[in-house]
Amino acid sequence: MAISWVIIAILIFLIFVFFKFKDVKHRMFTIFLILVVLFFYASFVSVVDSDNINLGSADGIMQAGKIYFSWLGSALKNIVSITSNVVKMDWSSNVTAGG
């Protein structure tokens, strides 16, 4: 588990260095990219740990990928559903009768 944190730290450092040389105005994009990488890593580790998947074999890696992308697809569908429900809501002011 410690080696995975080292890999993530190296990736974050490389992303930061790459965008630091470009321009200062890319700082927000760099922060966003780091947060996305951390989200994908944390969610992948969470899914793999909850299903007790062995990443030491090819079958385990395939199973982890299938479960993770299924989970990610479900999460995105839920976000779309919630967003569409929010858009459909009546956001006009709440006026009571006789008020």
Residue ranges of domains in the chain = 2-88
* N- to C-terminal Cα separation, the chain: 62
Find the mean pLDDT for residues 8-33. 73
pLDDT tens digits for 29-56?
777 887 888 888 888 888 888 888 888 8
Q: Look at the pTM and tell me if it is higher than 0.85.
A: no
The H or E element containing residue 36 is helix 27-50
Q: How many C-beta atoms surround the C-beta of residue 53 within 10 A? A: 19
- CA atoms of 30 and 43, how far apart (whole Å): 20
CB 67 within 8 A of CB 47: yes
Pull the structure tokens for residue 23: 């321009």
pLDDT tens digits for 65-74?
899 899 889 9
